[in-house]
Amino acid sequence: MTIADPQTLTDVRLVRHWIGGREVGEPTIERHAPATGELVALYADATAEEVDAAVAAARTTFESETWQSTVHGQRASWLERFAEILTENRQRLAEIDAQEVGKPLAFALGDIDLGIAHVRQAAAIARTETGEAFPGVSHGYLAVGERRALGVVGLVIPWNFPAQIMLQKLPYALAAGCTTVVKPSEFTSSSAVVIAQLAEAAAIPAGAVNVVTGYGRTAGQGILEHADVAYVSFTGSTRTGRVVAETAARQLKRVGLELGGKAANVVFADADLEKAADGAVFGAFINQGESCVATTRLIVQRSIAERFTAMVVSRAAKLRLGRPEDPEADLGALIHPPHRDAVAAAVDAAVAAGGVLELGGEIPGGELSDGAFYPPTIVSGVDPTSALFSEEVFGPVLAVSVFDDDDDAVALVNATSYGLAHSLWTTDLDRGVNLGRRLEAGTIWVNTCTDGSPQLAFGGVKASGYGRDAGFEGYREFTEYRTLQIRTAERTSPFAGR
């Protein structure tokens, strides 16, 4: 089935909140497509009352007898059906995200498919959830450990992979038995509402998936501070993540924080250089570099640095910028013109600080000048003390530095405050594994990068946050562990007979 609203790509989409199975609110926040500058959507701007209403709807559903009596198998069936319905609507969801993010449609389709794989993974977890039994803790004693739903949870979503990141959280929350209030980014809100409507088409009860659109400091903060919200899973910037953590700490509320990154791609002289060069280009420039796991630092062994940098530059020079509908496009537009300008300023500053511009660095004119485009850019000779080495740029900008030996490589990789993901390229697997384990990150890749699977938990350390999305660990985030202890034989109390 396809849903009725908001869907058209020819008209301006009018996007309202989705609360308790109904559309609510007046769309007022303008969204201009970053690739063309055209007005494509208006999103409702949540008031405090609308946030309250969404949390109340989620709470009413959570506390209902029907929801409380629902077993894991039933939730698995809902999610399996949800995955089918999302698959039927994948093209429409991809078109919406491609247009609002500015990315090529082919890549947006891949995002939706990964999101759907998460829904199936969560269904599998729900179907096979068993809890734990402890038959032998002591004589005459049986104990059961079970994971209980936290209750109403908030999901705060960024703009770089709107549907995919929502689906990397939502189905695991539902599998656990939580009900949800989702806050998409104020730049990319449409697909969240469509996904919520599709959840109900899959017979997931109204009130289980609510969406409030609007700004972070109002809608996002409102969800976070709400006394009836037990947990918030947040993906976004480290700066906002600190605010979220501080707010949550005042209430002793749990939060999961998937924040920024500055992933390194370390290439040893013994690596398969052709594959490593392909990986370096893919890892840095996929999704225009607007990815928290983008491998935006290329750290190359000195003996091959010049040759390898040339291999990467020649590949990156062939990447094409284009609008979402352009089938030849490898990179789309950045999220909005001010962000494009910030990316350009970061490159200019790196060059002024002594970096060598190997490729790109010029905002394109011509037919792409209406959009927020920025070309694949490579700066070599980047000093580890410079901002380009240590700060997240979130654009198609690759910083190249060199290392001499293993210890040097490890020190350079770990030198930033971030710790989300890093990659090593070597044909010596012992080195890959042993050095990989010395890198500070939630994900380490050896001879691959920007890779993953719904079965694998995803998240960071240090300033990249804490908590995990996806897989069993992602599911566990939405639960708390309860033990149930049953005495099956007489226990002699020290107070017996008193």
Enzyme catalytic residues? 258, 292
| Binding mask of the shown chain, residues 265 to 304, with x at each position contacting ligand TXE by CB under 6 A | ---------------------------x------------
Specify the residue, 258 or 358, whose C-beta has the smaller distance to ligand TXE. 258
Q: Which CB, 132 or 348, lies closer to ligand TXE?
A: 348
Tokens of 464: 């990249």
Query: Measured from the CB of residue 361, what is the shortest distance to ligand TXE in angstroms?
Result: 19
Among 89, 99, 160, 301, binds ligand TXE (CB under 6 A): 160
Of 254-262, 366-374, 382-390, 435-443, the segment contacting ligand TXE by CB under 6 A is 254-262
Mark out the alpha helices in 361-481 (DSSP H runs). 387-390, 406-413, 429-436, 471-477
User: With contact defined as beta carbons under 8 Å apart, do 29 and 43 qualify?
Assistant: yes
Does the protein bind ligand TXE through residue 157 (CB under 6 A)? Answer: yes
Which strand (E) or helix (H) includes residue 148?
Answer: strand 141-149
CB of 237 to ligand TXE, least distance (A): 3
CA distances from 431 to 246, 264, 442 (A): 40, 16, 19
Element (H, E) at 24: strand 22-24
**Nearest-approach distance from CB 492 to ligand TXE, in angstroms:** 54
Interface size with ligand TXE, residues (CB under 6 A): 26
- Per CB under 6 A, the list member of 50, 258, 330, 358 interacting with ligand TXE is 258
Counting contacts by CB under 6 A, is residue 458 touching ligand TXE? no
- Residue 182 binds ligand TXE, judged by CB under 6 A: no
Q: Contact letters (x/-) for ligand TXE, 386-415, by CB under 6 A?
A: ------x-x---------------------
**If binding is defined by CB under 6 A, does position 259 make contact with ligand TXE?**
yes
Distance of CA 433 to the CA centre of its chain: 26
- Contact between 209 and ligand TXE by CB under 6 A: the answer reads no
CA distance 367 to 361: 18
Residue closer to ligand TXE by CB (options 31, 75) is 31
Q: Which of 101, 181, 244, 441 binds ligand TXE (CB under 6 A)?
A: 244
Q: In this complex, which beta carbon is closest to ligand TXE, that of residue 271 or of residue 350?
A: 350
Q: Which is nearer to ligand TXE, 338 or 354 (CB)?
A: 338
Distance CA 254, CA 231 (A): 5
Q: Candidates 152-160, 264-272, 350-358, 380-388 — which segment interacts with ligand TXE by CB under 6 A?
A: 152-160
User: What are the structure tokens assigned to 224, written together?
Assistant: 């976070």
Contact stretch for ligand TXE (CB under 6 A) within 48-56, 256-264, 274-282, 490-498: 256-264
Taking the least distance from each CB to ligand TXE, the nearer of 268 and 285 is 285
d(CA 17, CA 350): 42
Closest by alpha carbon to 379, among 393, 365, 368?
Answer: 393
Shortest Å, Cβ 194 to ligand TXE: 17
Q: Does residue 185 interact with ligand TXE by CB under 6 A?
A: yes
CA distance 211 to 20: 9
Closest C-alpha among 380, 397, 258 to residue 334: 397
Tell me which amino acid residue 393 is: V
Choices 42-50, 181-189, 307-315, 374-382; region in contact with ligand TXE by CB under 6 A: 181-189
469-482 core/surface letters (b: 16 or more CB in 10 A; e: else):
bbbbebbbbbbeee
Q: Determine, following the binding rule CB under 6 A, whether residue 189 of this chain makes contact with ligand TXE.
A: no
Alpha carbon of 355 to those of 262, 304, 364, 384, 392: distances in Å? Answer: 18, 19, 21, 11, 17
Region near ligand TXE per CB under 6 A, out of 209-217, 379-387, 436-444, 475-483: 209-217
Compute the residue count for the chain: 498
Q: Which of 333, 329, 298, 301 is nearest to 313 (CA)?
A: 298
Is the Cβ of residue 160 or residue 386 nearer to ligand TXE in the bound state?
A: 160
Contact by Cβ (8 Å): 83, 204: no
- Among residues 390, 385, 430, 432, the alpha carbon closest in space to that of 267 is found at 432
For the chain, helix (H) and strand (E) counts, in that order, are 17, 21
* Residue 164: CB minimum distance to ligand TXE, A: 11
350, 379 contact by CB (below 8 A): yes
* Pick 147 or 340: Cβ nearer ligand TXE: 340
Give whichever of 162 and 381 is closer to ligand TXE, judged by the CB atom.
162
- Report the DSSP beta bridge partners of residue 152: 179
Query: Which range touches ligand TXE (CB under 6 A), out of 62-70, 234-242, 281-289, 318-326?
Result: 234-242
Return left, alpha or beta for 470; rule: phi > 0 is left, psi -120 to 50 is alpha, else beta.
Answer: left
Does position 260 bind ligand TXE by CB under 6 A? yes
> Where do contacts with ligand TXE occur on this chain (CB under 6 A)?
156-160, 183, 185-186, 215-217, 220-221, 224, 235-237, 240, 243-244, 258-260, 292, 392, 394
